[in-house]
Structure 1
Amino acid sequence: MLFDMDGTLVDSEKLWDVALRELAEEYGGTLSTAARLAMIGSSMAASMRILHDDLGQPWRDPEISAAWIDRRILELFRTGLRWRPGALALLRAVRDARIPTALVTSSGRQLVEVALDTLGRDSFDVVVCGDEVDAAKPHPEPYLTAARLLGVPIGRCVAIEDSPAGVTSALTAGAAVLAVPAEVPVPAADGVHQRESLTAVDLEVLAALLGAPR
Protein backbone atom coordinates (compact mmCIF):
# COMPACT_ATOMS: atom_id res chain seq x y z
CA MET A 1 0.00 0.00 0.00
CA LEU A 2 1.49 3.32 -1.11
CA PHE A 3 0.20 6.59 0.33
CA ASP A 4 0.94 10.12 -0.82
CA MET A 5 1.01 12.63 2.05
CA ASP A 6 0.10 16.24 1.20
CA GLY A 7 -3.55 16.52 0.23
CA THR A 8 -4.07 12.75 0.49
CA LEU A 9 -3.49 11.81 4.13
CA VAL A 10 -3.31 15.30 5.61
CA ASP A 11 -4.95 18.57 4.63
CA SER A 12 -1.61 20.31 4.30
CA GLU A 13 -1.96 22.04 0.93
CA LYS A 14 -3.68 24.95 2.69
CA LEU A 15 -0.57 25.35 4.85
CA TRP A 16 1.59 25.38 1.73
CA ASP A 17 -0.76 28.08 0.38
CA VAL A 18 0.06 30.25 3.38
CA ALA A 19 3.82 29.80 3.12
CA LEU A 20 4.00 30.29 -0.65
CA ARG A 21 1.82 33.39 -0.66
CA GLU A 22 3.83 34.87 2.21
CA LEU A 23 7.06 34.32 0.29
CA ALA A 24 5.58 35.97 -2.80
CA GLU A 25 4.67 38.97 -0.65
CA GLU A 26 8.19 38.97 0.81
CA TYR A 27 9.43 39.31 -2.78
CA GLY A 28 7.01 42.17 -3.44
CA GLY A 29 4.54 40.25 -5.58
CA THR A 30 1.40 38.14 -5.53
CA LEU A 31 1.31 34.46 -6.40
CA SER A 32 -1.27 33.70 -9.09
CA THR A 33 -3.83 30.94 -8.64
CA ALA A 34 -2.63 29.23 -11.81
CA ALA A 35 0.96 29.11 -10.58
CA ARG A 36 -0.09 27.78 -7.17
CA LEU A 37 -2.14 25.00 -8.73
CA ALA A 38 0.76 24.07 -11.01
CA MET A 39 2.93 23.47 -7.93
CA ILE A 40 0.68 20.85 -6.35
CA GLY A 41 2.40 17.48 -6.35
CA SER A 42 5.66 18.93 -7.69
CA SER A 43 9.10 18.95 -6.13
CA MET A 44 10.32 21.92 -4.13
CA ALA A 45 12.82 22.86 -6.87
CA ALA A 46 10.10 22.85 -9.53
CA SER A 47 7.75 24.83 -7.29
CA MET A 48 10.34 27.53 -6.68
CA ARG A 49 10.96 27.88 -10.42
CA ILE A 50 7.21 28.28 -10.97
CA LEU A 51 6.99 30.89 -8.22
CA HIS A 52 9.95 32.92 -9.50
CA ASP A 53 8.67 32.87 -13.09
CA ASP A 54 5.18 33.81 -11.93
CA LEU A 55 6.57 36.85 -10.11
CA GLY A 56 8.74 37.82 -13.08
CA GLN A 57 11.86 37.19 -11.00
CA PRO A 58 13.52 34.17 -12.66
CA TRP A 59 16.94 35.34 -11.45
CA ARG A 60 16.18 34.42 -7.83
CA ASP A 61 18.08 31.52 -6.25
CA PRO A 62 15.68 28.56 -5.83
CA GLU A 63 17.73 27.18 -2.92
CA ILE A 64 17.33 30.41 -0.93
CA SER A 65 13.59 30.44 -1.61
CA ALA A 66 13.27 26.77 -0.70
CA ALA A 67 15.06 27.37 2.60
CA TRP A 68 12.62 30.19 3.42
CA ILE A 69 9.64 27.94 2.64
CA ASP A 70 11.14 25.10 4.68
CA ARG A 71 11.43 27.27 7.77
CA ARG A 72 7.89 28.62 7.47
CA ILE A 73 6.17 25.36 6.60
CA LEU A 74 7.85 23.63 9.54
CA GLU A 75 6.23 26.19 11.84
CA LEU A 76 2.84 25.64 10.22
CA PHE A 77 3.09 21.84 10.27
CA ARG A 78 3.80 21.84 14.00
CA THR A 79 0.59 23.70 14.78
CA GLY A 80 -1.95 23.11 12.02
CA LEU A 81 -1.75 19.63 10.47
CA ARG A 82 -5.15 17.94 10.04
CA TRP A 83 -6.23 14.56 8.61
CA ARG A 84 -8.14 14.35 5.32
CA PRO A 85 -11.62 12.76 5.62
CA GLY A 86 -11.39 8.98 6.00
CA ALA A 87 -7.59 8.91 5.81
CA LEU A 88 -6.86 7.95 9.41
CA ALA A 89 -9.43 5.15 9.45
CA LEU A 90 -8.12 3.67 6.19
CA LEU A 91 -4.50 3.86 7.31
CA ARG A 92 -5.37 2.10 10.56
CA ALA A 93 -7.28 -0.62 8.69
CA VAL A 94 -4.32 -1.20 6.38
CA ARG A 95 -1.91 -1.46 9.31
CA ASP A 96 -4.23 -3.72 11.31
CA ALA A 97 -4.28 -6.04 8.29
CA ARG A 98 -0.46 -6.09 8.31
CA ILE A 99 -0.29 -4.89 4.72
CA PRO A 100 3.20 -3.57 3.78
CA THR A 101 2.80 0.20 3.68
CA ALA A 102 4.88 3.10 2.39
CA LEU A 103 4.60 6.87 2.54
CA VAL A 104 5.65 8.33 -0.82
CA THR A 105 5.86 12.10 -0.74
CA SER A 106 7.40 15.02 -2.62
CA SER A 107 8.10 16.75 0.70
CA GLY A 108 11.63 16.69 2.13
CA ARG A 109 12.77 14.52 5.02
CA GLN A 110 12.96 17.35 7.56
CA LEU A 111 9.32 18.26 6.99
CA VAL A 112 8.18 14.64 6.87
CA GLU A 113 9.75 14.01 10.28
CA VAL A 114 7.46 16.71 11.69
CA ALA A 115 4.43 15.29 9.85
CA LEU A 116 5.13 11.83 11.28
CA ASP A 117 4.30 13.20 14.72
CA THR A 118 0.72 13.37 13.41
CA LEU A 119 0.77 10.43 10.99
CA GLY A 120 2.46 8.04 13.41
CA ARG A 121 5.98 6.73 13.02
CA ASP A 122 4.77 3.14 13.14
CA SER A 123 2.20 3.75 10.39
CA PHE A 124 4.67 2.98 7.59
CA ASP A 125 7.25 0.31 6.89
CA VAL A 126 8.99 2.61 4.42
CA VAL A 127 9.10 6.39 3.94
CA VAL A 128 10.29 7.81 0.58
CA CYS A 129 10.85 11.58 0.62
CA GLY A 130 11.21 13.97 -2.28
CA ASP A 131 14.78 14.88 -1.42
CA GLU A 132 15.86 11.23 -1.23
CA VAL A 133 15.27 10.26 -4.86
CA ASP A 134 17.07 11.38 -8.01
CA ALA A 135 13.81 12.19 -9.82
CA ALA A 136 10.68 13.44 -8.05
CA LYS A 137 7.04 13.04 -9.06
CA PRO A 138 5.72 12.95 -11.81
CA HIS A 139 8.68 10.64 -12.54
CA PRO A 140 7.94 7.02 -11.50
CA GLU A 141 11.10 6.69 -9.39
CA PRO A 142 9.48 7.53 -6.00
CA TYR A 143 6.90 4.75 -6.33
CA LEU A 144 9.33 2.27 -7.83
CA THR A 145 11.68 2.97 -4.93
CA ALA A 146 8.92 2.42 -2.36
CA ALA A 147 7.87 -0.91 -3.89
CA ARG A 148 11.48 -2.09 -4.03
CA LEU A 149 12.10 -1.18 -0.39
CA LEU A 150 8.89 -2.95 0.64
CA GLY A 151 9.91 -6.01 -1.34
CA VAL A 152 6.55 -6.02 -3.17
CA PRO A 153 6.12 -6.04 -6.98
CA ILE A 154 4.83 -2.65 -8.05
CA GLY A 155 2.02 -4.36 -9.94
CA ARG A 156 0.68 -5.65 -6.62
CA CYS A 157 0.64 -2.18 -5.04
CA VAL A 158 -2.19 0.33 -4.74
CA ALA A 159 -1.13 3.99 -4.69
CA ILE A 160 -3.44 6.67 -3.32
CA GLU A 161 -2.86 10.16 -4.70
CA ASP A 162 -4.58 13.54 -4.93
CA SER A 163 -2.67 15.36 -7.68
CA PRO A 164 -2.07 14.88 -11.42
CA ALA A 165 1.71 14.75 -10.86
CA GLY A 166 1.38 12.07 -8.20
CA VAL A 167 -1.08 10.04 -10.26
CA THR A 168 1.27 10.16 -13.24
CA SER A 169 4.16 9.00 -11.06
CA ALA A 170 2.25 6.03 -9.64
CA LEU A 171 0.57 5.03 -12.90
CA THR A 172 3.80 5.16 -14.88
CA ALA A 173 5.50 3.07 -12.21
CA GLY A 174 2.88 0.37 -12.74
CA ALA A 175 0.78 0.61 -9.56
CA ALA A 176 -2.99 0.49 -9.35
CA VAL A 177 -4.03 4.07 -8.67
CA LEU A 178 -6.83 5.51 -6.56
CA ALA A 179 -7.16 9.27 -7.05
CA VAL A 180 -8.88 11.36 -4.38
CA PRO A 181 -8.58 14.92 -5.75
CA ALA A 182 -8.23 17.65 -3.14
CA GLU A 183 -7.17 21.02 -4.56
CA VAL A 184 -7.03 20.28 -8.30
CA PRO A 185 -8.96 17.91 -10.59
CA VAL A 186 -7.29 14.72 -11.75
CA PRO A 187 -7.99 14.01 -15.44
CA ALA A 188 -9.71 10.72 -16.22
CA ALA A 189 -7.28 8.08 -17.46
CA ASP A 190 -7.14 4.34 -17.97
CA GLY A 191 -6.03 2.65 -14.77
CA VAL A 192 -6.98 5.58 -12.54
CA HIS A 193 -9.97 5.06 -10.24
CA GLN A 194 -11.45 8.15 -8.57
CA ARG A 195 -13.30 8.75 -5.32
CA GLU A 196 -14.43 12.04 -3.79
CA SER A 197 -12.89 11.09 -0.44
CA LEU A 198 -11.45 8.16 1.47
CA THR A 199 -14.45 7.91 3.80
CA ALA A 200 -15.99 4.96 1.92
CA VAL A 201 -12.71 3.30 0.95
CA ASP A 202 -11.92 0.05 2.79
CA LEU A 203 -9.77 -3.05 2.28
CA GLU A 204 -12.32 -4.60 -0.08
CA VAL A 205 -12.18 -1.54 -2.31
CA LEU A 206 -8.39 -1.67 -2.38
CA ALA A 207 -8.38 -5.39 -3.19
CA ALA A 208 -10.82 -4.80 -6.02
CA LEU A 209 -8.46 -2.25 -7.56
CA LEU A 210 -5.76 -4.88 -7.84
CA GLY A 211 -8.18 -7.18 -9.60
CA ALA A 212 -9.37 -4.55 -12.06
CA PRO A 213 -7.78 -4.36 -15.53
CA ARG A 214 -5.41 -1.44 -16.00
Structure 2
Amino acid sequence: MTSDNERRPQAVLWDMDGTLVDTKPYWLAAQTELAQEHGIVWTTLDARATVGQAMPATARILRENGVDLSISKIIDELIERVVAKLEEGIPWLPEAERILAGN
Protein backbone atom coordinates (compact mmCIF):
# COMPACT_ATOMS: atom_id res chain seq x y z
CA MET A 1 0.00 0.00 0.00
CA THR A 2 1.27 3.49 -0.86
CA SER A 3 0.96 6.48 1.38
CA ASP A 4 -0.50 9.84 0.31
CA ASN A 5 3.02 11.30 0.28
CA GLU A 6 4.23 8.66 -2.17
CA ARG A 7 1.42 9.55 -4.60
CA ARG A 8 1.94 13.28 -4.48
CA PRO A 9 3.87 14.81 -7.35
CA GLN A 10 7.41 15.92 -6.59
CA ALA A 11 6.93 19.05 -8.68
CA VAL A 12 4.37 20.78 -10.84
CA LEU A 13 5.21 22.71 -13.98
CA TRP A 14 2.51 25.16 -14.92
CA ASP A 15 2.48 27.30 -18.02
CA MET A 16 0.76 30.36 -16.58
CA ASP A 17 0.38 32.35 -19.78
CA GLY A 18 -2.99 31.59 -21.26
CA THR A 19 -4.01 29.71 -18.12
CA LEU A 20 -3.82 32.31 -15.37
CA VAL A 21 -2.60 35.43 -17.17
CA ASP A 22 -2.69 36.73 -20.71
CA THR A 23 0.57 38.45 -21.61
CA LYS A 24 0.31 37.78 -25.33
CA PRO A 25 -0.75 41.38 -26.05
CA TYR A 26 2.33 42.60 -24.13
CA TRP A 27 4.66 40.39 -26.19
CA LEU A 28 3.06 41.39 -29.48
CA ALA A 29 3.22 45.09 -28.56
CA ALA A 30 6.90 44.73 -27.60
CA GLN A 31 7.62 43.12 -30.97
CA THR A 32 5.75 45.86 -32.82
CA GLU A 33 7.54 48.63 -30.92
CA LEU A 34 10.96 47.08 -31.51
CA ALA A 35 10.25 46.54 -35.20
CA GLN A 36 8.98 50.12 -35.62
CA GLU A 37 12.11 51.49 -33.94
CA HIS A 38 14.08 49.72 -36.68
CA GLY A 39 11.89 51.11 -39.46
CA ILE A 40 9.95 47.88 -39.97
CA VAL A 41 6.22 47.55 -40.42
CA TRP A 42 5.26 44.63 -38.18
CA THR A 43 1.98 43.16 -39.40
CA THR A 44 -0.57 40.96 -37.71
CA LEU A 45 0.69 38.09 -39.87
CA ASP A 46 4.25 38.72 -38.68
CA ALA A 47 3.07 38.69 -35.08
CA ARG A 48 1.04 35.50 -35.58
CA ALA A 49 4.17 33.73 -36.84
CA THR A 50 5.73 34.24 -33.40
CA VAL A 51 2.86 32.96 -31.25
CA GLY A 52 3.89 29.81 -29.44
CA GLN A 53 7.49 30.12 -30.59
CA ALA A 54 10.48 30.01 -28.28
CA MET A 55 12.17 33.35 -27.71
CA PRO A 56 15.15 32.57 -29.99
CA ALA A 57 12.77 31.71 -32.84
CA THR A 58 10.84 34.95 -32.32
CA ALA A 59 14.09 36.90 -32.23
CA ARG A 60 15.21 35.24 -35.47
CA ILE A 61 11.95 36.22 -37.15
CA LEU A 62 12.41 39.83 -36.06
CA ARG A 63 16.04 39.77 -37.18
CA GLU A 64 15.12 38.25 -40.58
CA ASN A 65 12.60 41.07 -41.00
CA GLY A 66 15.22 43.73 -40.41
CA VAL A 67 15.81 44.26 -36.68
CA ASP A 68 19.55 44.79 -36.77
CA LEU A 69 20.39 43.41 -33.32
CA SER A 70 21.81 40.10 -32.14
CA ILE A 71 19.37 37.36 -31.18
CA SER A 72 20.29 37.75 -27.51
CA LYS A 73 19.83 41.55 -27.65
CA ILE A 74 16.41 41.18 -29.30
CA ILE A 75 15.38 38.74 -26.55
CA ASP A 76 16.67 41.13 -23.87
CA GLU A 77 14.77 44.03 -25.45
CA LEU A 78 11.51 42.07 -25.64
CA ILE A 79 11.79 40.83 -22.06
CA GLU A 80 12.60 44.31 -20.77
CA ARG A 81 9.53 45.77 -22.47
CA VAL A 82 7.20 43.03 -21.24
CA VAL A 83 8.54 43.25 -17.69
CA ALA A 84 7.90 47.01 -17.74
CA LYS A 85 4.27 46.33 -18.70
CA LEU A 86 3.94 43.65 -16.01
CA GLU A 87 5.18 46.11 -13.42
CA GLU A 88 2.15 48.24 -14.30
CA GLY A 89 -0.16 45.32 -13.57
CA ILE A 90 -0.65 41.60 -14.11
CA PRO A 91 -3.17 40.81 -16.87
CA TRP A 92 -5.07 38.12 -14.94
CA LEU A 93 -7.59 36.02 -16.81
CA PRO A 94 -11.12 36.18 -15.39
CA GLU A 95 -11.39 34.50 -11.98
CA ALA A 96 -7.71 33.44 -11.86
CA GLU A 97 -6.81 35.61 -8.87
CA ARG A 98 -9.88 34.43 -6.94
CA ILE A 99 -9.10 30.77 -7.65
CA LEU A 100 -5.48 31.15 -6.59
CA ALA A 101 -6.57 32.90 -3.40
CA GLY A 102 -8.75 29.89 -2.63
CA ASN A 103 -12.01 31.86 -2.72
Aligned residues of 1:9 and 1:83 also touching (Cα < 8 A): yes
The aligned runs of 1:34-73 (5 Å cut-off) are: 34-53=45-64, 55=65, 57=66, 60-73=69-82
* 2:43 is the alignment partner of 1:5: no
Gaps of 5+ in 2: 1-11
Summarize the Cα distance change of 1:79–1:59 in structure 2 as closer, same or farther, 3 Å threshold. Answer: closer
Q: Deviations over 1:120-177 (max 9, x none)?
A: xxxxxxxxxxxxxxxxxxxxxxxxxxxxxxxxxxxxxxxxxxxxxxxxxxxxxxxxxx
Aligned residues of 2:20 and 2:96 also touching (Cα < 8 A): yes
Gaps of 5+ in 1: 97-214
**RMSD in angstroms over aligned alpha carbons?**
2.4
Normalized per residue, which structure has more helix?
2
Deviation at 1:45, TM superposition (A): 0.6
What TM-score, normalized by structure 1, do the two folds share? 0.38
- In structure 2, distance between residues paired with 1:44 and 1:32: 18
Percent of aligned pairs with the same amino acid? 33
Q: Deviations over 1:26-78 (max 9, x none)?
A: 1111212122122222211111112222x2x3764111111111221111110
Bigger relative contact order (CA 8 A; separation at least 6):
2
Residue in structure 2 matched with residue 25 of structure 1 by the alignment? 36
Normalized per residue, which structure has more strand?
1
After superposing on structure 2, the runs of 4+ consecutive aligned residues of structure 1 that deviate more than 2 Å are 57-60, 86-93
- In structure 1, distance between residues paired with 2:30 and 2:68: 20
Summarize the Cα distance change of 1:58–1:74 in structure 2 as closer, same or farther, 3 Å threshold. Answer: closer
Deviation at 1:2, TM superposition (A): 4.7
What TM-score, normalized by structure 2, do the two folds share? 0.72
Q: Whose radius of gyration is greater, 1 or 2?
A: 2
Residue in structure 2 matched with residue 81 of structure 1 by the alignment? 90
Deviation at 1:80, TM superposition (A): 3.0
Aligned residues of 1:49 and 1:62 also touching (Cα < 8 A): yes
